[in-house]
């Protein structure tokens, strides 16, 4: 379908000749010549948004005043309060978030037919690629059959979902599916889909060149900014609206400039660098902002490392972390098999339209900070937040402190016992516990590394750290070392290209020798699909209440995410993951102490097995080839025999199987009227949950496994689904019945209404402790509205829309927090739930909330964006207090979304009206 460009009232459309090709483009220089402003010192990231305004300027949705605002942004030191209608070129999805998005589209087809429209009106207008990468679990590991057995189980578990996605591929236009076993969506995007400069035919039949842009239903969509493609994660709800032609409403963002100088030192990796960047930017405060990287250090930073930094933008809180186009961008595009004509177009377009980072690149930024890469040291991050940076030589001491804090009560009891017998020694009482593993000849203790996983989109497409991990394995295997027997090891590359170069270098064989066999191509451990631990190890952890640990090369280490058996999770580079598998214990200072012994009893230190930068670089040069990329992506949409054998139904609307426990028609559009309602005040709402700081979307809507005694487990058991086939919350996102029951059900979530209780519990209408789902059902049966309270950074982490969908389906009308992460705030609005922020220093603690209160919020019937409204709190003792809270409906269009009950309802009604 051709793109529909604007009216170009300012005559900014020009022609660019590159070799034999001639393309139209929208010129920023021409906009300046037309008197629309001075854009010469805009950051490249913001010029991408400006070009979008030029291309879609129509005098209505996008006006010349929108364009002029970018000049005002530069003149005002990087600030302009202007709402824009932004249209990304394409949408990227993965299956955990993609399945519910396709479910919504299928439900919208039913909905529009019910409103008198036609099913084919619900079709993506922009290209959509869905990569199946989140479903593979690590059931089998540490042996040559692991990959095939995990793939077989993946298809057994997920056939219903795959049949549904195949139906979607046939039913919808502009919708492609990359089959299982290909790679992680961000790698496939980085290595194949992205073009940096996109071309398409407009409504007049002319070829237009413009910056490649996208939104994705995964928060780590930001990885693509490493190759100068502006992209970020949105919830599935917002992505669906974008697919259906609805522009994304956004304010012109502030842009923080992050200067990189110097060069990385021997023995450090791109992972070490990004963990420091995360720490610095979290301290800076960049939520809702763009970060653009600049400086002479970029001349020494390979694109793989840039992509690693861009990938973790959600961890440092930014909308994106952008790297402008330069020579390294062109080198990467060539090396990964992009067409030479495309690479030449990228260079010519970037230089002609002001996107090129040359020696004179010096834009205006809202704020800046700087980092000398020569100061970077080996590091890890944990035990439960990506920004909890720990230098490697401090890691063992840090973990001791973590255990001491966890066992604080045990320690004080022990000290009290000792005091009764005489003076307590000055030395700290060792709080660490241990436990014998039944049937094995070893004990495990607090700090035992039970999972060591090379996983996730962040590092596994970076050949420098992957080759580095292989070389560590080679040197270790040569000394006769292997993983400790209690460590579950796994290797899940980001794409098949990684396997190609590891095999070409002979390193996969070395990784196999120490237990890092290929387990699949997908997110695995990082998304919570680490699979079960050995039964006896799991039982020992439980019996001893041990603080078992995981070390993974991922981007997320939130509580309860990686494994239900693991309390402390550490992010590390792939070479360090291998080292920790050999050591098997976080209590060992691997920076200086022996990590293992040879069969002859000789101590082995990290320096004995760590490769030099030259060793790594030489192997990367030899094995990471253009031919490997071209070969592995030649049939990227075809899939293997298993995928080709998946049978599915046909038809414009989906034939929802009543017996399916994976895919069900959601209730969002059933009985929907043709006209929207009005926003009502909230009266006498009860508190469903009282939550603390940094409540992540993992806490709100976990992705991992669940047990049979949970509400979700009971639902499946009642439908004769055996526990072995439960799969995960993430894989069940096409079934709202499972996901409602899983909302606020993370095993580590703490509802402050209850004293010291972990898990998805609250007080019901009768005051008794019950599951959050059962309480919400009871309140809804009584017609009682609900609110949720939170602390700072509410909704941090993944862009999962089910954190908002589940909240809405439980009957929650408002979430009141100290601050929100960007994506989750948008998702709440997209589902008709109103987010509010405390003002004037108020918080759940200063207000002494217990969850027994009754909450009323007025002023909503005349609400304006970002307006402060009164909130009345009626305490259990009869006291009444009124405070002002800030409504985080940020833009005018979001008010309409709330009036309609959500953004999809808004789109559906408008499409139905256009059909009429």
Quickly list DSSP for 609-626.
Answer: HPPPHHHHHHHHHHH--H
CB atoms inside a 10 Å sphere around CB 348: 20
pLDDT in the model for residue 414: 46
Calculate what percentage of the chain has a pLDDT beyond 90: 82
CA distances to 408, 412, 416, 785 from 419, in Å: 16, 10, 5, 53
One-letter-per-residue 3-state SS of 228-284:
CCEEEECCHHHHHHHHCCCCEEEECCCEEEEEEECCCCCCCCHHHHHHHHHHHHHHH
> How many whole angstroms separate alpha carbon 132 and alpha carbon 129?
10
DSSP characters for 329-380?
HHHHHHHTT--HHHHHHHHHHHHHTT-B--TT-----SEEEEEEGGG---EE
* 764 and 846 housed in the same domain: yes
For residue 371, tell me if it sits in a domain.
yes
> How many whole angstroms separate alpha carbon 914 and alpha carbon 907?
11
**Within 13 Å of residue 757, how many CA atoms lie on the same side as its CB?**
17
* 357 and 285 housed in the same domain: yes
* 367 and 439 housed in the same domain: no
Beta strands in 289-334 (DSSP E): 290-294, 320-322
pLDDT-derived band at 742 (thresholds 50, 70, 90) equals very high
Which two three-digit tokens encode residue 594? 């022996």
Read off the pLDDT of residues 274-304 as tens digits, 9 standing for 90 and up: 999 999 999 999 988 999 999 999 999 999 9
Q: Which residues are 576's β-sheet partners?
A: none
* 114 and 211 housed in the same domain: yes
DSSP characters for 767-834?
S-EEEHHHHHHHHHHTT--EEEE--TTBTBS---THHHHHHHHTTEEEEEES-B-HHHHHHHHHTTPE
DSSP characters for 512-566?
HHTT--B--SS-GGGGT---PPPHHHHHHHHHHT---EEEESSS---TTTS-TT-
> How many whole angstroms separate alpha carbon 857 and alpha carbon 350?
50
pLDDT in the model for residue 426: 45
* 168 and 273 housed in the same domain: yes
Contacts of residue 594, defined as CB under 8 A and 6 or more positions apart, other chains included, come to 588, 603, 604, 605
CA distances to 459, 836, 840, 885, 910 from 865, in Å: 40, 11, 19, 13, 22
The CATH number assigned to the domain holding 836 equals 3.20.19.10
> How many whole angstroms separate alpha carbon 174 and alpha carbon 184?
20
* 589 and 697 housed in the same domain: no
pLDDT in the model for residue 822: 82
CA distances to 19, 185, 757 from 779, in Å: 67, 40, 21
Q: Is 307 helix (H, G, I), strand (E, B) or coil?
A: helix
State the chain's maximal CA–CA distance in angstroms.
Answer: 91
- Say how many domains are in the chain: 3
* 353 and 437 housed in the same domain: no
For residue 706, tell me if it sits in a domain.
no
For residue 871, tell me if it sits in a domain.
yes
CB atoms inside a 10 Å sphere around CB 405: 10
Considering only CA atoms, which of 698, 777, 813 is closest in space to residue 744? 698
For residue 567, tell me if it sits in a domain.
yes
State mean pLDDT over 613-641. 94
* Choice between 241 and 883, residue whose per-residue pLDDT is larger: 883
pLDDT-derived band at 421 (thresholds 50, 70, 90) equals low
Last residue of a domain, one of 624, 649, 667: 624
CB atoms inside a 10 Å sphere around CB 763: 22
Residue 416 pLDDT greater than 50, yes or no: no
* 584 and 686 housed in the same domain: no
pLDDT in the model for residue 224: 98
Read off the pLDDT of residues 199-211 as tens digits, 9 standing for 90 and up: 999 988 999 999 9
Range of lowest pLDDT (217-221, 226-230, 265-269, 417-421): 417-421
Which two three-digit tokens encode residue 809? 């389906």
CB atoms inside a 10 Å sphere around CB 598: 14
State mean pLDDT over 317-334. 97
Contacts of residue 148, defined as CB under 8 A and 6 or more positions apart, other chains included, come to none
Contacts of residue 841, defined as CB under 8 A and 6 or more positions apart, other chains included, come to none
Last residue of a domain, one of 343, 377, 411: 377
Could you identify the residue written with the tokens 């700090």?
Answer: 447
Torsion of Cα atoms, 227 then 233 then 237 then 241, to 10°:
-30
State mean pLDDT over 543-552. 96
The distance of Cα 859 from the centroid of its chain, to the nearest Å, equals: 35
Residue 623 pLDDT greater than 50, yes or no: yes
For residue 168, tell me if it sits in a domain.
yes
Read off the pLDDT of residues 472-518 as tens digits, 9 standing for 90 and up: 999 999 999 999 999 999 999 999 999 999 999 999 999 999 999 99
pLDDT in the model for residue 424: 46
> How many whole angstroms separate alpha carbon 444 and alpha carbon 449?
9
Read off the pLDDT of residues 768-817 as tens digits, 9 standing for 90 and up: 999 999 999 999 999 999 999 999 999 987 778 899 999 999 999 999 99
Read off the pLDDT of residues 58-68 as tens digits, 9 standing for 90 and up: 999 999 999 99
CB atoms inside a 10 Å sphere around CB 383: 24
The CATH number assigned to the domain holding 369 equals 3.30.499.10
Q: Whole domain around residue 870: which residue ranges?
A: 682-701+743-900
Residue 427 pLDDT greater than 70, yes or no: no
* 351 and 466 housed in the same domain: no
Please say whether the beta carbons of 869 and 876 come within 8 A: no
For residue 714, tell me if it sits in a domain.
no
Burial of 843 (0-12, 13-18, 19+ CB in 10 A): middle
Q: Which residues are 597's β-sheet partners?
A: 603
DSSP state of 119: G
Cα four-point dihedral sign 796, 800, 801, 802? negative
State mean pLDDT over 243-250. 87
CA distances to 388, 421, 656, 889 from 283, in Å: 11, 46, 48, 26
* 441 and 351 housed in the same domain: no
> How many whole angstroms separate alpha carbon 316 and alpha carbon 155?
35
Burial of 439 (0-12, 13-18, 19+ CB in 10 A): exposed
Residue 413 pLDDT greater than 60, yes or no: no
Residue 746 pLDDT greater than 90, yes or no: yes
For residue 909, tell me if it sits in a domain.
no
Range of lowest pLDDT (11-15, 208-212, 679-683, 703-707): 703-707
Considering only CA atoms, which of 146, 129, 136, 123 is closest in space to residue 92? 129
pLDDT in the model for residue 422: 53
pLDDT-derived band at 418 (thresholds 50, 70, 90) equals very low
Beta strand 761-763 with 682-690: parallel, antiparallel or unpaired? unpaired
What's the mean pLDDT when you consider all of the chain? 93
Beta strand 128-131 with 175-178: parallel, antiparallel or unpaired? parallel
For residue 352, tell me if it sits in a domain.
yes
State mean pLDDT over 240-259. 91
DSSP characters for 394-439?
GHHHHHHHHHHHHTHHHHHHHHHHHHTTSPPPSSPP----EEEPTT
Give the H or E element holding residue 17: strand 13-18
Considering only CA atoms, which of 474, 479, 857 is closest in space to residue 684? 857
Residue 410 pLDDT greater than 60, yes or no: no
Helix orientation angle between 303-311 and 270-284, rounded to the nearest 10 degrees:
40
Considering only CA atoms, which of 508, 552, 592, 575 is closest in space to residue 269? 575
Which pairs count as long-range contacts for 839-842, CB under 8 Å and 24+ apart, including other chains?
Answer: 839/868, 839/883, 839/884, 839/885, 839/886, 840/883, 840/884, 842/883, 842/885
> How many whole angstroms separate alpha carbon 510 and alpha carbon 908?
55
* 793 and 864 housed in the same domain: yes
Please say whether the beta carbons of 811 and 762 come within 8 A: no
CB atoms inside a 10 Å sphere around CB 846: 11
* 441 and 587 housed in the same domain: yes
State mean pLDDT over 228-240. 90
Which two three-digit tokens encode residue 807? 């909240």
């Amino acid at each position: 379908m051709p793109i529909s460009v604007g009216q170009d009232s300012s005559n900014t459309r020009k022609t660019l000749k590159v070799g034999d090709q001639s393309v139209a483009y929208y010129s920023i220089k021409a906009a300046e010549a037309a008197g629309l402003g001075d854009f010469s010192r805009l950051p490249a990231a913001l010029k991408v948004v400006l070009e979008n305004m030029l291309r879609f300027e129509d005098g209505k949705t996008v006006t010349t005043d929108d364009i002029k605002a970018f000049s005002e942004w530069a003149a005002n030191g990087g600030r302009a309060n202007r709402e824009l209608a932004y249209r990304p070129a394409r949408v990227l999805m993965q299956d955990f978030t993609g399945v519910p998005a396709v479910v919504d589209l299928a439900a919208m087809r039913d909905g529009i037919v019910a409103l008198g429209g036609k099913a084919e009106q619900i079709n993506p207008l922009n290209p959509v690629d869905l990569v199946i990468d989140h479903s593979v679990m690590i059931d089998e590991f540490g042996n040559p059959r692991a990959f095939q057995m995990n793939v077989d189980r993946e298809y057994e578990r997920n056939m219903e979902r795959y049949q549904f996605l195949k139906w979607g591929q046939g039913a919808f236009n502009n919708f492609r599916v990359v089959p299982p076993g290909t790679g992680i969506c961000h790698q496939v995007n980085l290595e194949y889909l992205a073009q940096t400069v996109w071309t398409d035919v407009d409504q007049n039949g002319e070829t237009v060149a413009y910056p490649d842009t996208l939104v994705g239903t995964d928060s780590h969509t930001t990885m693509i900014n490493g190759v100068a493609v502006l992209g970020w994660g949105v919830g599935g709800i917002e992505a669906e609206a974008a697919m259906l032609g609805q522009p994304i409403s956004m304010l012109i963002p502030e842009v923080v400039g992050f200067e990189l100088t110097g060069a990385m030192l021997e023995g450090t990796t791109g992972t070490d660098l990004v963990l420091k960047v995360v720490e610095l930017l979290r301290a800076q405060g960049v939520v809702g902002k763009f970060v653009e990287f600049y400086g002479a250090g970029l001349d020494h930073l390979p694109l793989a490392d840039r992509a690693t930094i861009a990938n973790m933008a959600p961890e440092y809180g930014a909308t994106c972390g952008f790297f402008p186009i330069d020579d390294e961008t062109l080198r990467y595009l060539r090396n990964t098999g992009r067409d030479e004509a495309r690479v030449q177009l990228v260079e010519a377009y970037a230089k002609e339209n002001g996107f090129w980072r040359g020696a004179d690149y010096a834009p205006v930024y809202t704020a800046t900070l700087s980092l000398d890469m020569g100061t970077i040291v080996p590091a890890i991050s944990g035990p439960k937040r990506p920004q909890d940076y720990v230098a490697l030589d401090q890691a063992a001491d840090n973990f001791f402190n973590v255990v001491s804090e966890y066992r604080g009560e045990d320690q004080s009891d022990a000290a009290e016992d000792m005091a009764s017998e005489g003076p307590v020694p000055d030395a700290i009482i060792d709080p660490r516990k241990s436990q014998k593993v039944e049937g094995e000849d070893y004990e495990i203790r607090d700090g035992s590394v039970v999972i060591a996983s090379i996983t996730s989109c962040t590092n596994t497409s970076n050949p420098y750290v992957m080759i580095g991990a292989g070389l560590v394995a080679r040197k270790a295997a040569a000394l006769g070392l292997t993983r400790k027997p209690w460590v579950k090891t796994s290797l899940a590359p980001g794409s098949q290209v990684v396997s190609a170069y590891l095999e070409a270098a002979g390193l996969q064989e070395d990784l196999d020798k120490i237990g890092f066999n290929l387990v699949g191509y997908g997110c695995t451990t990082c998304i919570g699909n680490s699979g079960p631990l050995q039964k006896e190890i799991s039982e020992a952890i439980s019996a001893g209440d041990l603080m078992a640990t995981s070390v993974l090369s991922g981007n997320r280490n939130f509580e309860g995410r990686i494994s239900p058996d693991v309390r402390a999770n550490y992010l590390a580079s792939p070479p360090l993951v291998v080292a920790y598998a050999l050591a098997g214990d976080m209590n060992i200072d691997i920076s200086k102490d022996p990590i293992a012994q040879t069969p002859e009893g000789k101590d082995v230190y990290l320096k004995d097995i760590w490769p030099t930068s030259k060793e790594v670089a030489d192997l990367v040069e030899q094995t990471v080839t253009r031919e490997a990329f071209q070969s592995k992506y030649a049939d990227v949409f075809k899939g293997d025999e298993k995928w080709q054998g998946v049978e599915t139904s046909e038809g414009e609307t989906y034939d929802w199987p009543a017996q399916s426990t994976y895919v069900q028609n959601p209730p969002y559009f059933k009985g929907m009227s043709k006209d929207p309602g009005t926003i009502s005040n909230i009266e006498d709402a009860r508190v469903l949950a009282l939550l603390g700081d940094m409540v992540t979307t993992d806490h709100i809507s976990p992705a991992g496994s669940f047990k049979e005694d949970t509400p979700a487990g009971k639902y499946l058991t009642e439908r004769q689904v055996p526990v072995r086939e439960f799969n995960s919350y993430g894989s069940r996102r096409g079934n709202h019945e499972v996901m409602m029951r899983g909302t606020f059900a993370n095993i580590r979530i703490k509802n402050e209404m209850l004293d010291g209780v972990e898990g998805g519990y609250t007080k019901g209408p009768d005051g008794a402790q019950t599951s959050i789902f059962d309480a919400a059902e009871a309140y809804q049966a009584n017609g009682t509205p609900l609110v949720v309270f939170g602390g700072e950074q509410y909704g941090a982490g993944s862009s999962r829309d089910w954190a908002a969908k589940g909240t809405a389906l439980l009957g929650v009308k408002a979430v009141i927090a100290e601050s929100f992460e960007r994506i989750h705030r948008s998702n709440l609005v997209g589902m008709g739930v109103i987010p509010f922020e405390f003002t004037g220093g108020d918080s759940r603690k200063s207000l002494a909330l217990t969850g027994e209160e009754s909450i009323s919020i007025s002023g909503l019937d005349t609400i304006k964006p970002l307006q402060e409204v009164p909130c009345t709190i009626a305490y259990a003792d009869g006291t009444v207090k009124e405070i002002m809270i800030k409504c985080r409906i940020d833009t005018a269009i979001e008010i309409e979304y709330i009036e309609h009950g959500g953004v999809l309802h808004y789109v559906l009604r408008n499409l139905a009206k256009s059909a009429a």
